[in-house]
Amino acid sequence: MFRQKLLLLAVAVALTGCAAPSQHNDPFERSNRFMFKVNVQFDNYLLKPVAKGYLYVPSPVRQSVRNFLDNLASPVTLANDIFQLQGQRASTTALRFGINSTVGLFGLFDPAKRLGLEKHDEDFGQTMAVWGVPEGPYLFTPVYGPSSPREFSGWIIDWAFDPMTHQDDWHLENAIGRYAIDGIDARASALTVLDEIERSSVDFYATVRSLYQQNRASEIANGVTNIDDLPDLDEFDDLDDF
């Protein structure tokens, strides 16, 4: 298993190493745009209608499904908290997992939140970013959506060390089912906002790319805004010089 992980890591590093820089880190824009169009169709004809239908499920049930899926993802988050040497966040994740798996009835409820232990996500893509692995070019992938070699290989590695993958009664259809429900729930919660963004974008593809790249950078920084990382505005200050 360990050798398998090392191999995946090597593939990830090799993929990111051959990235050609461009303005929005998008040297494959033409093929990405094509895949984006395909995904928009997939979304219009399948994912969005299913997500709309899912909203008919009573809200407390959907909340429990979300809690259950989040709880299942906790071991992966915990491993990545540790890989990133985030002791405080690791203990929050461990406590949440312990409390919600027991008192929270196998993760269906989130009593840990009421104790001030707020949920956060970590994944191996973020861990690699913290370790200094370059992101590689922007990739719009089928079904999975916006990504990059670093994020996509991180997702595979997470999947490889997820305890759920190593259950004796593991079946591919269960794993696909889990990701499908996760995707449908996430899509359902973003129905209004994504429609609004699509409607108000001068270039929907570029907007989604910006949203993804900015949001990802923020996740890697654990939501902390570093004032030193902001673009320099001084050149836009001579306001009358126009």
Partner 1 sequence: MRAIIAFFALWALMLTPGVAQEVDLAKAKSFVEVLADDAISILSTEKTRAGREAKFAALLDERANMRRIARFTLGQFGRQISKEDFATFETLLSEFIVKVYANRLGEYSDEKVMVGKAQAKKKNVIVDSRIEFANGRDPIDIDWWLRLEEDGSLTLFDVRVLGVWMAQEQRDAFASVLKNNKGDINALLEHLRKQISADTAEG
The size of the interface with partner 1 (CB under 8 A), counted in residues, is: 35
Comparison of 78 and 220: residue with beta carbon closer to partner 1: 220
Comparison of 8 and 188: residue with beta carbon closer to partner 1: 188
For residue 40, give Cα distances in angstroms to 77, 121, 227: 30, 26, 35
The reply to whether 20 sits near partner 1 by the rule CB under 8 A is no
The reply to whether 237 sits near partner 1 by the rule CB under 8 A is yes
The neighbouring-strand residues paired with 141 are: 145
Min. distance of Cβ 212 from partner 1 in angstroms? Answer: 9
Min. distance of Cβ 109 from partner 1 in angstroms? Answer: 13
Q: Where are the beta strands (DSSP E) in the chain?
A: 139-141, 145-147
Nearest to 221 by CA among 137, 132, 126, 128: 126
Nearest to 146 by CA among 24, 13, 228, 11: 24
Q: Round to whole Å and give the CA distance between 98 and 100.
A: 6
Comparison of 20 and 230: residue with beta carbon closer to partner 1: 230
Other Cβ atoms within 10 Å of 107 Cβ, number: 21
- Which range touches partner 1 (CB under 8 A), out of 97-105, 134-142, 147-155, 202-210? 202-210
Nearest to 23 by CA among 241, 218, 206: 206
Dig out the tokens for 81 from the structure: 């908290």
Comparison of 141 and 201: residue with beta carbon closer to partner 1: 201
The reply to whether 225 sits near partner 1 by the rule CB under 8 A is yes
Residue in 45, 53, 165, 196 binding partner 1, rule: CB under 8 A: 196
Interface with partner 1 (CB under 8 A): 23-24, 192-193, 196-197, 199-203, 205-207, 209-211, 214-219, 223, 225, 227-228, 230-231, 233-234, 236-237, 239, 242
